[in-house]
Amino acid sequence: MDVLFYGVPIVIIAIAIVLFWMAGLPKIKSMKLSFVMCCLGVNVIVTPLSLFIGVMATDSPTSTIMYFWAGFLFIQGIPLLVLMIGTFIWLIGRRDNK
């Protein structure tokens, strides 16, 4: 049980740190992916909190799956929106360079 309690947050933080570190690599910078990698790191960090809020939103016996998604997207909505916009801008920039 301790492995689950301490291991999962450590893995999540390690993945986020690796994504932030990779954003600074020259190969990623040359492909202009730094912003997208930082957005992925933020999404990885925010996901456990989003899941927690989503689960807490379904605490009532009359709750449906829509309450879960409302709670999840309440927290995760802005980071996902920024990630989608960043990816879209990167794809448009990539198409213009060819």
Task: Quick: pLDDT tens for 16-67.
Answer: 999 999 999 999 999 889 999 999 999 999 999 999 998 898 888 888 899 9
69 pLDDT tier (thresholds 50, 70, 90)? very high
Rounded Cα distance between 13 and 93, Å, is 30
Residues 6 or more apart in contact with residue 75 via CB below 8 angstroms: 46, 49, 50, 53, 54
Asked if pLDDT for residue 8 goes beyond 90, the answer is: no
- The pLDDT of residue 1 is 67
DSSP state of 83: H
Phi-psi region of 74 (alpha: psi -120 to 50; beta: other; left: phi over 0): alpha
First-to-final CA distance of the chain: 52
Instruction: For residue 19, give both structure tokens.
Output: 């994504």
- The pLDDT of residue 26 is 93
Q: Does the predicted TM-score (pTM) go above 0.85? A: no
How much is the average pLDDT of 68-95?
Answer: 92
Asked if pLDDT for residue 96 goes beyond 90, the answer is: no
